[in-house]
Each structure stands twice: as structure tokens, then as C-alpha cells.
Amino acid sequence: MKKNKLIHLSGRVQNVGFRYSTMQVARQYGITGFVKNNVDGTVTIEAEGEEENLNQFVEWAKQGPPPARIDHANIQESPVQDYQEFRIK
């Protein structure tokens, strides 16, 4: 059963290859949705997929790629949007 999570991350999450790494990992887990930088220096991810894969993806996102540093992660359930792919906005 598909689930959707809205993930807001703060810390050192911009200018570290975060969006590109997120897209690669999302594709590995079969996750659809998007990742985007926000003007306040945070990153937003909307991720949709099967529950087990989605949970593993969320655990990865809470760590991020090196050299990112996640200071705060806010993760919320969100309505399923039926995204067809994962992309960088």
C-alpha cells in the first residue's frame, strides 16, 4: 500500500549535493515525488512509495549524504499524490 511523507530538513542541506543524492536514493527505493531547496536554507522532500521502502528512504533522508548535516527533521504523513517519478524541483 502506497504512503506519502512530507519531509522538511534543516541543517547543512544546501550546496552539498543533497538534492542529487536524494534523487538517486529515491530511485533505488522506487520512491516517487520531489526534492527542493527552500529560500530559508532548508530542504523539502515529498516522498511516495510502498511503506517498507518509504521508511528506509526516510531513515536515509534523516542522515543525508556526506557532507550534509541534518539538525532537524520534521516528517509528516501526507495524502497520496500518485507521482509518476522522482524529480528535483
89 secondary structure, DSSP code: -
CA pair distance 32, 49, nearest whole angstrom: 6
What pTM did the predictor assign? 0.97
Share of the chain above pLDDT 90, in %: 99
Q: Which pLDDT score is estimated for 37?
A: 98
Q: What is the pLDDT averaged over residues 72-78?
A: 98
Q: Which three cell numbers stand for residue 70?
A: 541534518
- Assess whether 37 carries a catalytic annotation: yes
CATH number assigned to the domain covering 2-88:
3.30.70.100
With cut-offs at 50, 70 and 90, classify the pLDDT of residue 9: very high
Q: Which pLDDT score is estimated for 51?
A: 96
Q: Which pLDDT score is estimated for 72?
A: 98
3-state helix, strand, coil in the chain (%, to 5): 25, 40, 35
Q: What is the pLDDT averaged over residues 33-42?
A: 98
Q: From the candidates 4, 15, 37, 53, which is the catalytic residue?
A: 37
